[in-house]
Structure 1
Amino acid sequence: MTAKAQRSSATTASRLEGVVAGLQEAALYEQRWNALSAQIDDAAGTFASRLVVASGVGGVPDFLFSRALWRGETVEEIERLYLEDYAIRDERVDRTDRMPLGCVLHNTEILTEEEQKKSPVYCDFLPCVGSNNQVCVRMRGLYGTDIIWVLTARAGRDWSSEQTGAVEHLLPHVRHFVRVRQALAAADARESSLIGLLNRSGLAVLHLDQGGCVLEANAPARELLAAGDRILQRDRQLRARSPDTDAQLGRLLSACCRKGVGGSMTIHPRGESADRAPLLLCACPVPPDLTSFDSRGVFAQILLTRLGDAPSVDTRQVARLYDLTPTESRVAGLLAEGRTVSEIAASMGRGGSTIRWHVKNLHSKLGVHRQADLVRLVLATAAATPAE
């Protein structure tokens, strides 16, 4: 080895040591990941990367977290373009669960020769936004997930053994970083989740996974399930007492959890219950938040309300804080009470498109992207409003 090569090797080793130390810190302080990604680029001879957490349960995986960085800087437009237009056409995605764990693979080892000539991602998207000279590696995450790490080098340069060696050296440390972030995000989500807020609001709420299994339920929801005269839990699944109602409930929850289609239904009590009020069940799909490491897999939020007994949400504080119009404030409150867009439109005498326009404005003013986050913020602000 020449003196120049020895100096280069020593520099790489020193950089890798710094990255490993940084990954240990970033596991507890996620905001350090972006700057650390730039250090990884320096150590591995790359200029961009993508870190993905995906569901690892057969078939085409769902992205639960995704962050693309260019020299440590976020590239939101490129990220959005990929997720919205190209991810579904990326041949590599549906091969994720067949990639050997911990094996650094170049794009040319994943794609066939024919795909390397015609792939819209490999031939068009990647060269346009940087380079298709990438390596990909799959690692095992928590909660049945896969971690996919993609690193991009300059076009026209072969990956050296030193580069791939640097990536391999970092794999266990990157895996540890993601796993710790997943665990901490899940714990934080449980601690400060919508469940705690709804306990104070009086609404009954449950979170379901993609298979419709109950992940968590707050105290009012547990009381309704324990009563069992309208709805109950059997083998972690929500069931209705009436066979016909149970079949309808099954279809509603399946559409919400598996297809992202919300809806509502009324469930009447059976038996000798003293409380004869029907129960309104609202199923709200929860799209994955790709900016959070929380990959527990909450796919549906279920709100249960006795008809005629729904607690109203005080939106005066949120209206003042975010400069909402009276109509926006009312829509926000009704959403927080579990009403669907169509129900809000009917109650206000407006069209569904008008209500959706108001919801879009609410997302913009409150700085959120998902209806579940909007509800959480409204309830949190309402709960913090002092009684007059």
Structure 2
Amino acid sequence: MSPSDAFERCLAALYEAALDDTRWPAAAALIEEAVGTGGSALSVGEGFDGDARITFSRYLERGQSREDLAREYASVYHLHDEALPRLRLLPHGQPVHVPDLYTENELKTSLVYNEAFRRWRSHEGLYVRFDGPDGSRIVWTVANPVGGDGWQTARLRLFDRLLPHVHRSVLIRQALAAADALGSGLTGLLDNDRIGVVQLDRGGRVLAANGPALEILRRGDGLTDRDGALRAAAPRDDGRLQALLGRALPDLWGAAPEGGSMTVERPLRQAQGRLSGRPPLSLHVSPVGDAESDFGGRRVAALVLVVDPARRPRIDPVRVAASLGLTRSEARAAALLAEGRSVLEIADMTGWQAGYVRRLLKRIYRKQGVSGQVSLVPRVLALEALPRD
């Protein structure tokens, strides 16, 4: 295959992969063959020094996943890699020979270079750093050249030609993933003014909030968004909130995200010359989306519903039953869930066992063809906006 033909085939594969992440392994395999390397890795990271972290990583060898290598690097070698501070400062889109990121002494002593990279046959590979959105970094790595002849000029030239297209494909994938995560259900929920809604990215930063939530955040009424992060005003509550968010936000190689609920105390309010207490806010946190297909893009990763008892919506279960084809019990549970009640609150209000409430909700999700609370609540709330008979 001529270099021109190889370039055209790689280009077509890259843009197919940008529109469908399942095609990335095939595109990577084609590029690896064309440039003469045994494997490649695509990673996205953010932050510096002690705050630096990997938000996406995919290691491949001729189209086959090597998640084992990605996990091993993250858990064993990442914190000890002497090259990373230099890699983060590389000019955008400029290839660098892997050994050039280590000092002469490090080339002899580095655990990462001598143990991991030699075993993975990537110690003579190439690194390229690209600028990503919101200050993130996209890093594309290719392993050692195959054949024993080193990096040939023609193949390096092809590699250079492909670089801007690799970068653009990743940016497209990130943008599409972000747009998909902000689909009609999530976006529509922001328009609802009867329950507070806060959308968080994978790092726990606030991406968007609707009117009721913004009002609470501005007043510091139990919650704040200092420095762009959602926090509880009371330190005791904030520790619990950060733990809850930590479980709901994606961890690239950790446990699957899970939701949860809690309450946060609100400051006393001056009323008629006296300080008076108010009912706490109820928070319901749910994970959103698939972290494996977003290519490290900044997307909605968790949804926080903020329920103020003073303005809690009242939803008609009879209407829910008629509109969604639910039984009376299912409709009552769905209505209470959309009002911002937790499973335990629903059980307490109805006299049902918590296990029965969970089974009811799972049955509702199956009937409605939705994955959970995040998808069901907007559907129920939308009924209240429809004209009544």
**Shorter-chain TM-score: which interval?**
0.5 to 0.7
- Whether 1:289 aligns to 2:291 is yes
Residue in structure 2 matched with residue 141 of structure 1 by the alignment: 132
Closer/same/farther in 2, CA of residues 221 and 180 from structure 1, 3 Å limit:
same
Closer/same/farther in 2, CA of residues 61 and 193 from structure 1, 3 Å limit:
farther
| Segment drifting more, 68-77 vs 249-258 | 249-258
Query: Deviations along 1:86-127, whole A, 9 cap, x unmatched?
Result: 223333333322222222111111122332233333222233
Closer/same/farther in 2, CA of residues 16 and 238 from structure 1, 3 Å limit:
closer
Shift of 1:221: 3.3
Closer/same/farther in 2, CA of residues 14 and 270 from structure 1, 3 Å limit:
same
- Whether 1:267 aligns to 2:270 is no
Residue in structure 2 matched with residue 107 of structure 1 by the alignment: 98
Question: What is the identity, as a one-letter code, of the residue corresponding to 2:199?
Answer: H
Mapped to 2, the partners of 1:190 and 1:287 lie a distance apart of: 10
Residue in structure 1 matched with residue 170 of structure 2 by the alignment: 178
Query: Deviations along 1:261-299, whole A, 9 cap, x unmatched?
Result: 999552236245999432134678999935422522667
CA contact 1:185–1:294 (8 Å) conserved in 2: no
Closer/same/farther in 2, CA of residues 48 and 25 from structure 1, 3 Å limit:
same
Closer/same/farther in 2, CA of residues 209 and 383 from structure 1, 3 Å limit:
closer
Closer/same/farther in 2, CA of residues 235 and 378 from structure 1, 3 Å limit:
closer
Mapped to 1, the partners of 2:224 and 2:115 lie a distance apart of: 52
Query: Deviations along 1:358-383, whole A, 9 cap, x unmatched?
Result: xxxx9xxx9xxxxxxxx964543687
Closer/same/farther in 2, CA of residues 157 and 83 from structure 1, 3 Å limit:
farther
Mapped to 1, the partners of 2:171 and 2:78 lie a distance apart of: 24
Structure 2: tracts of 5 or more residues without a match: 250-259, 318-335, 344-352, 355-361, 384-389
Mapped to 2, the partners of 1:27 and 1:299 lie a distance apart of: 20
Matched position secondary structure for 1:143: helix
Mapped to 1, the partners of 2:185 and 2:110 lie a distance apart of: 42
Mapped to 2, the partners of 1:381 and 1:173 lie a distance apart of: 39
Question: What is the identity, as a one-letter code, of the residue corresponding to 1:128?
Answer: R
Residue in structure 2 matched with residue 217 of structure 1 by the alignment: 209
Closer/same/farther in 2, CA of residues 43 and 290 from structure 1, 3 Å limit:
same
CA contact 2:188–2:378 (8 Å) conserved in 1: no
In the TM superposition, 1:105-254 aligns within 5 A as: 105-152=96-143, 153-154=145-146, 157-191=149-183, 204-208=196-200, 213-218=205-210, 221-222=213-214, 224=216, 230-231=222-223, 245-246=233-234
Mapped to 2, the partners of 1:38 and 1:239 lie a distance apart of: 44
Shift of 1:47: 1.9
CA contact 1:133–1:156 (8 Å) conserved in 2: no
Query: Deviations along 1:330-351, whole A, 9 cap, x unmatched?
Result: xxx99xx7979xxxxxxx99xx
Query: Deviations along 1:45-104, whole A, 9 cap, x unmatched?
Result: 112100112115566632122111110121222322222322233333333222222221
Question: What is the identity, as a one-letter code, of the residue corresponding to 2:6?
Answer: R
Identity of aligned residues (%): 34
Match of 1:55 among 24, 46, 53: 46
Shift of 1:219: 6.0
CA contact 1:230–1:267 (8 Å) conserved in 2: yes
Mapped to 2, the partners of 1:227 and 1:59 lie a distance apart of: 32
Mapped to 1, the partners of 2:214 and 2:132 lie a distance apart of: 31
Mapped to 1, the partners of 2:107 and 2:7 lie a distance apart of: 32
Shift of 1:151: 0.5
Match of 2:4 among 13, 17, 34: 13
TM-score, normalised to structure 1's length? Answer: 0.64
Question: What is the identity, as a one-letter code, of the residue corresponding to 1:267?
Answer: E
Mapped to 1, the partners of 2:31 and 2:85 lie a distance apart of: 27
Residue in structure 2 matched with residue 277 of structure 1 by the alignment: 279
CA contact 1:37–1:72 (8 Å) conserved in 2: yes
Shift of 1:11: 1.6
Question: What is the identity, as a one-letter code, of the residue corresponding to 1:169?
Answer: R
Structure 1: tracts of 5 or more residues without a match: 1-9, 315-332, 341-347, 350-361, 367-374
CA contact 2:261–2:342 (8 Å) conserved in 1: no
CA contact 1:209–1:298 (8 Å) conserved in 2: yes
CA contact 2:231–2:241 (8 Å) conserved in 1: no
Closer/same/farther in 2, CA of residues 84 and 123 from structure 1, 3 Å limit:
same
Closer/same/farther in 2, CA of residues 254 and 187 from structure 1, 3 Å limit:
same
Matched position secondary structure for 1:27: helix
Shift of 1:150: 0.2
Mapped to 2, the partners of 1:287 and 1:38 lie a distance apart of: 27
- Whether 1:380 aligns to 2:379 is no
- Whether 1:74 aligns to 2:65 is yes
Query: Deviations along 1:120-155, whole A, 9 cap, x unmatched?
Result: 332222333444321101111222211100001338
